[in-house]
Structure formats: C-alpha cells, structure tokens
Structure 1
Amino acid sequence: MTLFRNATVRWLNIFLAVGALTFAAVSVAATADQNFPNKPIRLIVSYPAGGSVDVAARILQEPLSKGLGQSVVIENKGGAGGTIGTAQVAKAAPDGYTLLLTLSSHTINPAIYAQLPFDTEKDLDPVSMVASAPQVLVAHPSFKPSTIPELIAYAKAADTPVIYGSAGVGSPSHIAGELFKKLGQVQLTHAPYRGGGPATVDVLGGQIPLLWVSLPAVTQYIRNGKLKALAVSTKERTPVLPDVPSVAETLDGFNVDSWYAMFAPAGTPRPIIDKIQKVLAQAAGDKAIQDAFLAQGAVVVGGTPEALDAVVKKEIPAWKTLAKEANIKIN
C-alpha cells in the first residue's frame, strides 16, 4: 500500500512539474507576443531594388515603422522569379522579425518551376494583401486593332499567328497572354523578354505589335500616345486609366491580378500577424499612401490574412492548369 502511495505521489509530482513547465512556456510565448516588436524588423523584398515590389516596400516602410514602433529594414533578395527571397523567409524563425513582400508570381511559381526550395502554402503564413496593379495589353499605334473584339477577329483571320511580348516566361504578363489565347480561342506567338523594359522598347519601335506588361511600365507612353492600350487584365477597370476597358468586359472570367502581398514564416503567432495586419490596414486607409500607389499604377487593397489565403489557394491550382495546357515551365 505504501509503495502504491509513493508511486502515485511521484506521478502526481511529475504531472504537476510538466504542467508548470507548460504553463511557463505558454506564459513566456504570450509575453513575447505582447512585447512584439522589441527590435528592428527585416522586410525581405523578393525582387531587385528599383522594381515595382521594391517601390511598394519603400512606400510602406515609414508607416510600418511608425505603427509598429520599430525600424523596418528593407533587404532586396531578387532572382528566380522571387523564389530566392521567398525561400529565405520560409526558412526564417517564425517570430515576426522577418517578413516577405512579394508579387503575384508567388502563386505562378509552383506551376512553372519543376521544384521549389519551399512549399508555397505550408511554409508561409499570409499577413495581408497590399495593392493591385493590372497588366495592360498595349500595341504600337500602327497596329490596326484597337479593341479586344477587333483583336480577336484580326487574330483569327491572320495567315500567321500575331506576336505578343511579355516580361519573361512565367511572368504575370505571360500568364495574361496565355489566358487570353485560351479564352479568346486565338493563336498568338509568345515572345519572352528579360523584363518589361526591353519589351517596351521593342513595341515602341514597332519590332513587335503587341505587349502584355505591368501598367506602371507603360502608363506614360499610353498617356502621350506613343502606345495604345487595348485593355487591362484585372476584373475591373483601373482608376489609373479609367477609359481603358478590362478584358473581362469581352471575355468572361478573364482576371490576372498583379498583386503585392505580405507573408510571414509559417508558425508565426497569430497575435503578431494580427498586429502587423492592423498596421497595414491603417496604412491602406491613408490617402497619402493611396496616392503614392496610384502614382505607380497600383491601387491599395489591404485585407485579412484569410482573404489573402483564399487568393493563394484559388490561384495556385488555376495557374497549374493553365501552365500545363500552355506547356509553361522552367526547369
């Protein structure tokens, strides 16, 4: 009886000790969440300095620093369609001190790369959508079609496929071109470039007739008449060029949104994510921030982690299907 009582006491003591340790761990974690942030935050931009994602990060840098009460240090980790910087964040400690700002290629890359050094859905937690900037279909002024219906009719009647340029294989502009081919049931020949800049030079010079490209890259040329805009890729028209129709007005279901969004390493405590998202929401309501994005051809979006997660889960399978059908891949 004494032996049984002693064993019971030992197990009770072990149970209480484990419980105390668990409570202490939870208390420490809760305190860490409450004290976040207490040191500078690294914002990894998965594209080179000077690009549209980098500009978006610079716009958000001050409001983030002010709202969180700590400096936000931007680090550009470009390369491989944004996958290098994304991999770095995916492998970082899930404590809120390393964040990712990236482009909508985030949901295209799983469809076109044979292998990625991270799992797009499992290794990153969504924080918030930030802004949206459409792709725009532009043409040299000498190109006869000026509307989407005219282009579809022209392409179907052409003896050889019409050439369209993009910013590169697997870029949002390439995806827009292939989705247009699919929904418009037309044959077009893809001419990939190393970025939107060189492609814009060639369409301005008349070397290629058509180009899908991010709106900020060509807004000035559209406004001064050096290029004509046939349509934008987003479901709705953009306030940057309200007179330019969306492709969806002709082809139902067409939507290629070049969004910017923020992610954190998977496992980042929800209170920390909520704190960052709240600051981003406040920035989204600031007219100065809205105007800064509009000047770049983008519209502030904002939103919850759940809303961004829904976009990721919807786009990944859609782009995988399109990439398979169009044989888009990068080994």
Structure 2
Amino acid sequence: MHRLLLNVFVLLFVFAPYSAVNAQGYPNRVIKLVVPFPPGGLIDNAARLIGPELSKELGQPVVIENKPGAGGNVAAADVAKASPDGYTLLMASAPLSISPALYKSLPYNPANIEPIAILGQLPNVLLVNPESGINTVADLVKRAKANPGKLNYASNGNGTSLHLSAEMLKNQAGIFVVHIPYRGSTFANVGLVAKEVDFMFDNLPPALGLINGNKLKPLAVTTATRNPALPNVPTMIESGYPNFEVSAWFGIAAPKGIPDSASQLLQATLEKIVGRKEMVEAISRLGATVTFMNAQRAAQFMKTDTERWRKVIDYAKIQMD
C-alpha cells in the first residue's frame, strides 16, 4: 500500500509541471490573424510583415486570414465573437476607432475587442493636380472660399478616413466643397489626375508613385510631424490648422478578456519585432513609421481617435446604416 502511494506521488510530481505548462503555456497551437481587407493593401502587407516574425518568436504558426467587408466590420465582428484565448487576433486599423462613431449599429460590440498594441502610423496627404495652380493649403482654401460649392473633392468612399479628413478641412477652414465618392482610392486618384475633381486626401503609400511621377502634387500631410518620404511637404498644423492631426494606424487587437499573460507576451514580442532595424525599414517602405504603443496606451489612443472622428461625423451629419 505504501509502495502504491509512493508511486502515485512520484507520477504526480513528474507530470504536474508538464500538465501546468499545457494548461497555462501560451501559445501551444496555431494563431489566426484576421485581416479586415483584401490582399495587397497596406494593412494586409503589414500583416504579412508581422505575421512570420510573430510565428518565429512564439514558435507557432501564424495564419493570416483575409475577411474583407463592411469597412472592416466583418472581420471585427468575427474576432469580437471568438474565444478570448489569444488564438484569434485582429489586424486592427483606423476603421476600428471610426466605426463606433459612424454606424447606427454594428454587427459587434466595440467593447468586445481590446487592443494588444499599435505598431505603426502613417499620414493622409492632401493632393491636387499639379496643373491646378494651387501650391499650398492656403491657396486651396482661398479658391474654395471664392467659389463656394463649385469645388469638389474625391474620396475612396463614404465614411472612410479620406472622406472624413476632407470634412475636417471643411469644418476647420469654413469652406463649402462637394464630395465625390469613388470606388476606392485608385479610382479617386485617376479622377484627380484627369481633373474630374479638385482635390483629395489619400493614404500616403498608394499616392507616392503618382507624387514622385509628378502626376499629383502634395500640399500637406496630416500627422503632427513631417513624413520622411516627403520631407519638404508641411503638415496641416504647419499650414495653419493647429487642431488638424490625423493618422492612419495599424496594430493588433484581440477578443475582450484575453488572459493577461498572453497579452503581455504578445506586447513584448511585438515591441521586439518592430524595434528591429530591418522591420523599421520594411515598414518605412510601406510609407508608415513604427510607433509602438502598448495595450494601455493603444486603448487611450483609440478612445481619443474615436472622439476626434465623432466631432467630424457630427459636424458633417454623416451616418452609415
């Protein structure tokens, strides 16, 4: 009897650490990273930079799954409803902070998604046709005020950050211009090159080729500081609009309730990844700047971002179903 009890004790002693690791060790299986947009765009490209490095560091496969639709809400809903175990993550971006202010109702509760980290930011850039004779933001505003309702601007669709950036300019500059939504920024750029519209805001990366090819002229970037890709282009703040600060951003989020240990591991790992010189350079080639924010700072940033967009949305009386 004593020998039997001793054997049981030995077995428990030997296998207890193994059982604890299996119960608590994260990660021990495949992680899914959900991307809210189709392959080939900025957010997808960023995910394909981060995903393999995350896999190497964590020792588990990171599978990227594209789930486009409804301005990012399809993917957000998928992640919000997933188990909060750290094995389903969202490649988060600006729509995650815009949607709560923009939509009457959402297919998910925004409170059911929590940020893990923000990894990078990039500006929108205010663009005109080089043949327009407009060389500064002041020139554009002056022309708009002299011709109320006669100028128009393009965007990649209603409720996007590009649309809302122009509405922010309307609000702060006190101008009346007409919105012409296109089916994506590529078509909007074509419209501006063809002089169908007078100006537009675009994310910097897709606009860089046209800027460098002298097809479009940048007037200002929307971040608080100038962008290294356009060092001679002023910010909107420098152009006379001290409250005009907008940035597209990307990061990682998870279902609400992810264990602290998993969140902390992901935060530390992501900070390590984006801190590497080669990753900084790769993200820079996307037109973005590495800006690491941990979960706490990211949550505050997103809250501030939502309120910033809510003011613009209320001013412009925009609401999506």
**Both structures adopt the same fold (TM-score exceeding 0.5):** yes
How far apart are residue 28 of structure 1 and its match?
A: 11
Q: Deviation above 6 Å: which 4+ runs of structure 1?
A: 27-30
**2:194 paired residue among 205, 208, 219:** 205
Correspondence for 2:80: 90
Correspondence for 1:254: 244
What is the TM-score normalised by the length of structure 2?
A: 0.91
Correspondence for 1:119: 109
**1:240 paired residue among 211, 229, 239:** 229
Correspondence for 1:67: 57
Correspondence for 1:176: 165
Task: Render the CA deviation track for 1:180-221: whole Å, top value 9, x for unaligned.
Answer: 111111111111111111101111122112111111111011
CA distance in 2, matches of 1:167, 1:271: 40
CA distance in 1, matches of 2:54, 2:294: 16
C-alpha contact (below 8 Å) 1:46/1:83 kept by paired residues: yes
**1:151 paired residue among 112, 116, 140:** 140
Correspondence for 1:190: 179
**2:302 paired residue among 299, 307, 312:** 312
CA distance in 2, matches of 1:185, 1:28: 66
C-alpha contact (below 8 Å) 2:22/2:28 kept by paired residues: no
How far apart are residue 316 of structure 1 and its match?
A: 1.7
1:108 lines up with 2:98 in the alignment: yes
How far apart are residue 29 of structure 1 and its match?
A: 11
Correspondence for 1:99: 89
How far apart are residue 142 of structure 1 and its match?
A: 1.2
Letter in 2 for 1:302: F
C-alpha contact (below 8 Å) 2:114/2:253 kept by paired residues: yes
How far apart are residue 232 of structure 1 and its match?
A: 0.8
**1:218 paired residue among 207, 219, 237:** 207
Correspondence for 2:3: none
Letter in 2 for 1:40: V
Structure 1 segment 8-47 matched on structure 2, within 5 A? 31=21, 34-47=24-37
SS at match of 2:249: strand
User: Any unmatched runs of 5+ in structure 2?
Assistant: 1-16
CA distance in 1, matches of 2:272, 2:61: 17
Bigger drift between 182-191 and 73-82 goes to 182-191
Residue 28 and residue 138 in structure 1: after superposition, are their counterparts in 2 closer, same or farther (change >3 A)?
farther
CA distance in 2, matches of 1:297, 1:66: 25
Letter in 2 for 1:168: G
What is the TM-score normalised by the length of structure 1?
A: 0.88
Aligned-residue CA RMSD in angstroms? 1.7
Number of aligned residues? 304
Residue 299 and residue 329 in structure 1: after superposition, are their counterparts in 2 closer, same or farther (change >3 A)?
same
1:142 lines up with 2:131 in the alignment: yes
Residue 70 and residue 295 in structure 1: after superposition, are their counterparts in 2 closer, same or farther (change >3 A)?
same
CA distance in 2, matches of 1:41, 1:317: 32
C-alpha contact (below 8 Å) 1:33/1:271 kept by paired residues: no
How far apart are residue 113 of structure 1 and its match?
A: 1.1
Correspondence for 2:44: 54
C-alpha contact (below 8 Å) 2:154/2:180 kept by paired residues: yes
